[in-house]
């Protein structure tokens, strides 16, 4: 898999049945603005890249399989700061007309319920991404400094020290006048 940032966008609406016979392949970015449900679930959705391959399987299923990579900032459950997370997911879907047909699919496939013509690709990619989000995000290292936790305020001595130079200066001036 290439890690280059692709400029091409995955089209939002594609006909899985027609493209399966054409064995079409799509590779590109998904505009993050279109994935509103994912955006609500993370601190920041930075980039989503997908690869889609359409084909007709042995039993006649119209299959779209591919990979999905997303760069998101999750909220760290320890310090509540953003933690950069990369999410990778593989999926294998088969186009079905309805829920009844979905139940008859071999276990290897997840159903993509879509009617005649084009289906919403962003919708299935968003669903896939939501399922792949980590339940809990944490920084690798101990991100909360325990010394900060034990004393919230800065040491009192510091403030005394900062006022000292002026007092010393006044005293010096006073000495000169005398
Ligand atoms: Zn953290």
pLDDT digits (tens, 9 = 90+) for 46-86: 999 999 999 999 999 999 999 999 999 999 999 999 999 99
Q: Compute, in angstroms, the gap from residue 141 CA to the centroid of ligand 1.
A: 8
> What does each C-alpha distance from 82 to 25, 37, 63, 78 come to in angstroms?
34, 18, 37, 10
Q: Compute, in angstroms, the gap from residue 20 CA to the centroid of ligand 1.
A: 44
Beta-carbon neighbours within 5 Å of ion ligand 1: 76, 78-79, 139, 143
Threshold 0.95, pTM exceeds: no
23 pLDDT higher than 90: yes
């Amino acid at each position: 898999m290439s890690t280059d940032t692709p400029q091409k966008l995955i089209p939002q609406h594609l006909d899985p049945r027609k493209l399966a016979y054409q064995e079409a392949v799509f590779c590109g970015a998904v505009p993050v603005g279109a994935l509103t449900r994912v955006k609500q679930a993370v601190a920041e959705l930075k980039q989503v890249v997908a690869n889609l391959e359409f084909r007709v399987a042995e039993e006649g299923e119209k299959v779209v399989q591919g990979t999905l990579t997303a760069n998101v900032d999750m909220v760290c459950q320890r310090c509540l700061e953003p933690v950069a997370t990369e999410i990778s997911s593989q999926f294998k879907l088969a186009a079905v007309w309805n829920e009844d047909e979905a139940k008859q699919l071999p276990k290897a496939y997840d159903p993509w319920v879509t009617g005649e013509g084009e289906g919403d690709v962003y919708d299935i990619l968003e669903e896939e991404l939501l399922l792949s989000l980590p339940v809990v995000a944490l920084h690798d290292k101990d991100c909360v400094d325990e010394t900060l936790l034990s004393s919230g305020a800065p040491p009192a001595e510091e403030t005394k020290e900062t006022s000292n130079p002026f007092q010393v200066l006044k005293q010096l001036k006073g000495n000169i006048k005398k």
